[in-house]
Amino acid sequence: MIKILEKLLNLIYIKVCYFCGSQKEDSLLCLKCRSKIHFLPQGVYKNIQGIDIYAASLYDGINKELIKAVKYKGQKQLASVMADLMFDYWKKLKVCDSEFIVLPVPIHKYRRKERGYNHMDIVAKEFCALSKYRYNTDFLIRIKDTKKQYNLNKHERLENIKDAFDLNVKNIPDKSDNLLIIDDITSTGITLSEIIKVLKNNGYINITALTLATPDIWNK
């Protein structure tokens, strides 16, 4: 009887690919859709203030749909897909052998209240479940309710994100800890630059950053 119930539950809760609707693989992202993601070469993609930035893939197609679904459409279950894609890239890098404390890029409390969650908090927890790193969603905070960056030019982005972040006195990492900032997408690198500045000003120097995606204009 128990085995019959288990089979029925498996049928009821079978995972469907969010992007094409396939049920063949019991996955939120089937292999066919995953193959459409354009992963980037392994290695440092950009350096900001002496800090290595890694970007796993291009922001197009499936990635665009994935990030928008998690960020704006309440599809929190897809955070595990984002984390899996990031970790699949990350685990092939030599730097992954170090121990890290993962810091998700925070959103302002008003944005969190409106949305109900910070999607990168969820991604960070899923990423740490895979990597066995520790995560800290309390340390890095956003104190300025910024506008959405993608609608702004470079100068406006700089002014918008300036002094937007601070550090919380709760759950403070040791200065010797390796910190890994993670975010969904970066284009100009302005947000990461501002976070790195805050961390460095407070004595943290062992910093690395990883994003799921970046547009192909990054190096142009």
The domains of the chain, with CATH numbers, are 1-36 (no CATH), 37-214 (3.40.50)
**Is the per-residue pLDDT at 122 higher than 50?**
yes
Structure confidence at residue 148 as a pLDDT band (50, 70, 90): low
Of 123, 118, 124, the closest CA to residue 106 belongs to 118
CA distances from 200 to 13, 50, 166 (A): 46, 11, 11
The predicted-structure confidence for 52-89, as pLDDT tens digits, reads as follows 999 999 999 999 999 999 999 999 999 999 999 999 99
Structure confidence at residue 155 as a pLDDT band (50, 70, 90): low
**Is the per-residue pLDDT at 4 higher than 80?**
no
What is the rounded average pLDDT of the residues 191-212?
96
Is 117 buried (19+), middle (13-18) or exposed (0-12) by CB count in 10 A?
Answer: middle
Most confident of 33-47, 133-147, 205-219: 33-47
The set of residues, in sequence order, having a beta carbon less than 8 Å from that of 51 and lying 6+ positions away, is 192, 196, 207, 208, 209
Task: Please tell me the predicted confidence (pLDDT) of residue 219.
Answer: 47
Higher pLDDT, 162 or 11: 162
**Is the per-residue pLDDT at 174 higher than 60?**
yes
CA–CA separation, 69 and 52 (whole Å): 28
pTM: 0.88
Structure confidence at residue 161 as a pLDDT band (50, 70, 90): confident
